[in-house]
A and B are shown apart, each in its own frame.
Chain A
Amino acid sequence: MRELLRWLFNLTGKELDQATEMLSKDTAKQRLKLVLIQDRLELAPEKLEEMKKEIWEVVSKYMVVDDDFMEFEVRRLDDLTVLVSNIEVKDLSDLTPAPST
């Protein structure tokens, strides 16, 4: 039956799980969880800016990095919400072990 459905509708296993087994209220809840995270971030751009600055400061304690992030955003990855940040490393020399005395 599962295989037939999968074949008929060309669904992935996960989609099939959702379509056949999940209660619709749980689907609603799961979708809302993600939407609300994103909405809340959009409502608080200052917070995001603040976090970005702090992360830059922490990273620059350990290595020489570019003044700005190449990428810094919260985005959807399938059913996850992820923070993606990319920053160019200019110099790693601070990370080399201190010469033993």
Chain B
Amino acid sequence: MTGRTIVITSGKGGVGKTTATANIGTGLAMRGHRVVVVDTDIGLRNLDVIMGLENRIVYDLVNVIEGTCKLSQAMIGDKHDYELYLIPAAQTRDKNSITPEQLREMCAELEKEFDYVLIDCPAGIEQGFKNATAAAQEAIIVTTPEVSAIRDADRIIGLLESSGLHRPKLIINRIDPEMVRRGDMMDQKDVESLLAIEVIGLVPADEQTIVAANRGIPVVHNTKSPAGGAFLRIASRVDGEDIPLMDLEPKNGLFSRFKGMVGMNGRAYSHA
């Protein structure tokens, strides 16, 4: 078996890389695949808490690379009934503890056993970024519809291109349909025309994402939530299914705002 190794990256911090990694990974596992997610944010690990696995960590990525433990010993099985595993980052080391070649080697090992290897990349364009991107054959860039995040995404596209990672896909996260409607937030077309790469998903700003993070259960488990549904569709697209992107704009402006007021909110935004 040869799996696909995909890096999830952004340039700017805090735009949703870790959230996307946990949810796409879970989504792919829900579709019946064998999946491993790798946290390469050494020193600032977070994927473990988003997935609710922080209490099970014994070994980490640096232990594997340094040979302190076997690869299988550092893989933590997900709490749910899926073929989903996490390799956590080391918390007390720094990004120079591993090299791009070492990570590539480890992922090549994982590709033999898994359908998907997803790499959660740290923010920035330094060593951690170089490690994470060197290990992957494909890239997904996460951005928010904001000037600074898009600018950084553009730089990342350039850097990926020059390191041989062509045709990255884009996720636009934290879209506020109401702000888009008012003309106070760029929409898919705006972002697409600026960055000129293929959009693979639109994720609305959704407080359920934060509730899910509180509980350590990725929001994609709640497929009825706007963000959960969006992430599941992204997982399907990653998996090669051809489902169209739908507009996040509140369908019938006034009515959905009315629904929002009486607490039936959610459904109107739930396509992406």
- Among the interface residues A23, A29, A31, which one has the most CB atoms of the partner chain B within 10 A? A29
Contact pick for A35, options B151, B158, B180, B182, CB 8 Å: B151
Q: Are A39 and B151 in contact (CB under 8 A)?
A: yes
Q: How far is the CB of A49 from chain B (nearest CB, A)?
A: 16
Q: How many residues of B contact A (CB 8 A)?
A: 18
Closest to A33 in B: B194
In the complex, chain B residues 183-213 whose Cβ is within 8 Å of any chain A Cβ:
183-187, 190, 193-194
Q: Are A43 and B183 in contact (CB under 8 A)?
A: no
- Provided the pairs A25-B183, A25-B185, A31-B147 are in contact, do residues A43 and B155 lie with their beta carbons within 8 angstroms? yes
Contact pick for B183, options A24, A36, A39, CB 8 Å: A24
Q: How far is the CB of B156 from chain A (nearest CB, A)?
A: 11
A35–B147 alpha-carbon span in the complex (Å): 10
- Which residues of chain A are within 8 angstroms of B155 by Cβ–Cβ distance? 39, 43
Closest to A43 in B: B158
Q: Are A29 and B194 in contact (CB under 8 A)?
A: yes
In the complex, chain A residues 22-60 whose Cβ is within 8 Å of any chain B Cβ:
23-26, 28-29, 31-33, 35-36, 39-40, 43-44
- Which residues of chain B are within 8 angstroms of A43 by Cβ–Cβ distance? 155, 158-159
Q: Are B186 and A25 in contact (CB under 8 A)?
A: yes
- Which residues of chain B are within 8 angstroms of A40 by Cβ–Cβ distance? 154, 158
In the complex, chain B residues 87-132 whose Cβ is within 8 Å of any chain A Cβ:
none
- Provided the pairs A29-B194, A43-B158 are in contact, do residues A36 and B151 lie with their beta carbons within 8 angstroms? yes
Q: How far is the CB of A92 from chain B (nearest CB, A)?
A: 41
Give a binary string over A1-40; 1 marks a CB under 8 Å from any B CB, 0 the rest.
0000000000000000000000111101101110110011
Interface set of B (CB-CB < 8 Å, partner A)? 146-147, 150-151, 154-155, 158-159, 180, 182-187, 190, 193-194
Interface set of A (CB-CB < 8 Å, partner B)? 23-26, 28-29, 31-33, 35-36, 39-40, 43-44
Q: Could you show 29 A-B contacts with beta carbons less than 8 Å apart?
A: A23-B182, A23-B183, A23-B184, A24-B183, A24-B184, A25-B180, A25-B183, A25-B184, A25-B186, A25-B190, A28-B146, A28-B147, A29-B190, A29-B193, A29-B194, A32-B147, A32-B194, A33-B194, A36-B151, A36-B154, A36-B194, A39-B154, A39-B155, A39-B158, A40-B154, A40-B158, A43-B155, A43-B158, A44-B158
Q: Which 3 pairs between the two chains have the least Cβ-Cβ distance? A: A23-B183, A43-B158, A25-B186
